[in-house]
Structure 1
Amino acid sequence: MVIPVHDINPSRRTPWVTYALIAVNVVVFLRTPGAISSPAGSGTPAALCRAQAFIEQWGAVPRELIHDRLPALVPTGSAVLGPGGRVGCLLAPPAYGKSPPLSVLTAMFVHGSWLHLLGNMLFLWIFGNNIEDRLGKVRYLLFYLLCGYAAGYGFAVLTPDSDTPLIGASGAIAGVLGAYLVLYPRVRVWSLVPFLFFIPLRLPAWAVLGLWFVLQAFYSAGYGVSEAGTVAYAAHVIGFAVGALLAVPLRPGTRPPPEPRPVQVRGPRW
């Protein structure tokens, strides 16, 4: 997969909303039990149970979204020893109130591991500033949340009986990527391309983001990934499509990024 690292598309205003979204995601992650134990989010059974309970409470569960009710039993955060010496998480009736529609919002700021968090924040950092610059702060925030909600509920409709919590900002950020592809398809993006080792290349945004979308659609159809995969690729596809559609009416008024000015090198004065 191509990894973008920088786009040649300067913004006119400081992207305070994008910075705030990144900051909130990082703070919530640092307060997630067990999530910071390792880059992959692994840890002791007790830490994993606490993290599972946290994600169950603040994540968006498709079955809860469709039926608008909580399950009878949820993880409590305590590890127990089960039959055959297997360690599991103690289940009990939920001791908290939870609004399924509101859980889509809270789930956008919960991540399960450092890799999950940093991958999402990288894409938001690179592409979010220009979409915020084009939409303005308030409309950009509403756009971001709308894409996240569309991705969350869209995924729930496709998997109405799933009990696996949906977490992460991927759906909302996918909307940002879709809008960027529509508004700035020819902008050059410095990217790392895997070929024996990572090679830095300057590619057009339509190639970088188009490839990303094709891969997400390919994976969401079940190709190239195992059935045990936990990534909600369909949510990425839905968020991307919604973001692209919302950006179409804005395209005629979008100015191309300014051309880089040539650097003049002056010789020494004698």
Structure 2
Amino acid sequence: MLLPIRTDRPPRHRPTVNYVLIGLNVAIFLALEFAVPVPLAGLIKQFGTLDTASPQLHQFVSYAFLHGGWMHLIGNMVFLYIFGNSLNDKLGHVEYLLFYLAGAIFSGAGYCLVSVSLVVGASGAIAAVTTGFLVLFPRSRILVLFWLYIITTFEVSSLVLIGFKMILWDNVLIPMIGGAGNVAHEAHLFGYLFGFVIPLVLLAAGILPRDQFDIFSLWKQAYRRYRYRQMVRTAQKPLWVGMKQARPVRPDVGASRPAEEEALPADEHSRHLVAKIAESIDRYDLATAAELYLKLIDHNPDAVLPRRQQLDVANQLMSNRQFGEAAEAYEKYIRAFPAGEQIAQVRLLLGIIYGRHLGHPDRARAMLEEARRTLGDSTQRNLCQAELDRLGE
């Protein structure tokens, strides 16, 4: 058995209305059980029970304050306390009371449409409170008490506990396999529907203030991550594949290079490694070129390859997921060739590396801001903005 104990979203103000509702439910139950003479208690229960075959207007409220037994009462009050306190705090006292009563009315009316029976209990109203909590605090964690052969506690996401366990399992799957026959599952489902839709509408209309914790914020961030993945797939095939590779340059071609590409390291070993890197790139063997480049950097940390070759090697290191080495190679490219081609894409890649892989958000933002100002491709600009938004979360 699972029983919620508390959430990680305690109310900031005293949830007075929720306490009053709990007190009323308990007081009415105790009075009918112990204080009121049995014949009168029977008449009160008959008067207040919702008869779906011939409902009276008052019954749509009164049935929610009657309970069929101790376990019925205790179970409902535990859930009302756990989820109602935070909802009372968020909505305010009057609004929460109206929401609670409307949830009871809606779930009772819905049950009248699908069943002919007598029904009592606050379960429909509490179901509305529960999904109202889910809409406003979908990221919350709930501490749950579990006991079967052992007794233990664990934390679970509100989406899992409310969405899967309480709605899908308890009120859809269990009735389908014939369990829990004396429970008005349909009333629960109508309550869940009301509690989900009404806060959603209030948030969408701006009547209920939005914040970073509600379900719209969750959807927005999920969509942002989806867009980011889509842009990465389209713009990053991977992204560095779109950068021009160095053309093969053979000793007998004799093609002239810009002055910025002709500087070679002074020592013999470095020149030998640079030559081997060039040969590897000529053969399109970029994996070997990247390995040789790392040897070159170990020997001569200040070494920089010719412009196209430096970019090719940096791209290959990125492809190898050697993010630290790739970032260093891209940084050298920017410092050595500030007017080089595709400099904006290099800054975009550096922003992604620093932000997602190396844990340097400030450096990532600096690179991404500069890239956003200079990128010409709209897809890459969107990718850049998505990454900046992610860093700002």
TM (normalized to structure 2)? 0.49
The change in CA–CA distance for 1:122 and 1:35 in structure 2 (over 3 A counts) is: farther
State which drifts further: 176-185 or 245-254.
245-254
User: Partner letter of residue 22 of structure 2?
Assistant: I
Contact 1:219 1:233 in 2 (8 A): no
The counterpart of 1:207, out of the listed 160, 166, 172, is 160
Which residue number in structure 1 is paired with residue 97 of structure 2?
A: 141
User: Partner letter of residue 179 of structure 2?
Assistant: V
Which residue number in structure 1 is paired with residue 46 of structure 2?
A: 56
CA distance in 2, matches of 1:27, 1:230: 24
Does 2:243 match 1:253? no
Contact 2:6 2:142 in 1 (8 A): yes
Deviation per CA, 1:37-75, whole angstroms, max 9, x where unpaired? Answer: xxxxxxxxx96x87654422211110112xxxxxxxxxx
Taking only aligned residues, the RMSD between alpha carbons, in angstroms, comes to: 2.5
Shift of 1:11: 1.3
Contact 1:177 1:240 in 2 (8 A): yes
The change in CA–CA distance for 1:216 and 1:134 in structure 2 (over 3 A counts) is: same
User: Partner letter of residue 106 of structure 2?
Assistant: A
The counterpart of 2:183, out of the listed 208, 211, 231, is 231
CA distance in 1, matches of 2:34, 2:123: 21
Shift of 1:4: 0.4
CA distance in 2, matches of 1:198, 1:207: 20
User: Partner letter of residue 56 of structure 1?
Assistant: Q
- SS across alignment from 2:119: coil
Which residue number in structure 2 is paired with residue 3 of structure 1?
A: 3
Higher RCO (C-alpha under 8 Å, 6+ residues apart) = 1
CA distance in 1, matches of 2:11, 2:175: 36
Greater fraction strand: 1
Which residue number in structure 1 is paired with residue 14 of structure 2?
A: 14
Consecutive unaligned residues in structure 1, runs of 5 or more? 37-45, 66-99, 258-270
The change in CA–CA distance for 1:35 and 1:208 in structure 2 (over 3 A counts) is: farther
Identity of aligned residues (%): 33
Does 2:193 match 1:241? yes
CA distance in 2, matches of 1:35, 1:214: 39
The change in CA–CA distance for 1:175 and 1:35 in structure 2 (over 3 A counts) is: farther
- SS across alignment from 1:23: helix
Which residue number in structure 1 is paired with residue 69 of structure 2?
A: 113
The change in CA–CA distance for 1:35 and 1:246 in structure 2 (over 3 A counts) is: farther
Shift of 1:248: 1.2
Larger Rg over CA atoms: 2
CA distance in 2, matches of 1:35, 1:56: 17
- SS across alignment from 1:190: strand
CA distance in 2, matches of 1:56, 1:198: 40
CA distance in 2, matches of 1:35, 1:167: 20
CA distance in 1, matches of 2:145, 2:32: 30
Shift of 1:195: 5.2
- SS across alignment from 1:63: coil
Does 2:176 match 1:176? no
Greater fraction helix: 2
User: Partner letter of residue 153 of structure 2?
Assistant: P
Contact 2:48 2:58 in 1 (8 A): no
Contact 2:138 2:213 in 1 (8 A): no
Paired residue total? 208
Which residue number in structure 1 is paired with residue 143 of structure 2?
A: 190
User: Partner letter of residue 63 of structure 1?
Assistant: A
Contact 2:4 2:145 in 1 (8 A): yes
Shift of 1:153: 0.8
The change in CA–CA distance for 1:148 and 1:31 in structure 2 (over 3 A counts) is: same
CA distance in 1, matches of 2:51, 2:194: 21
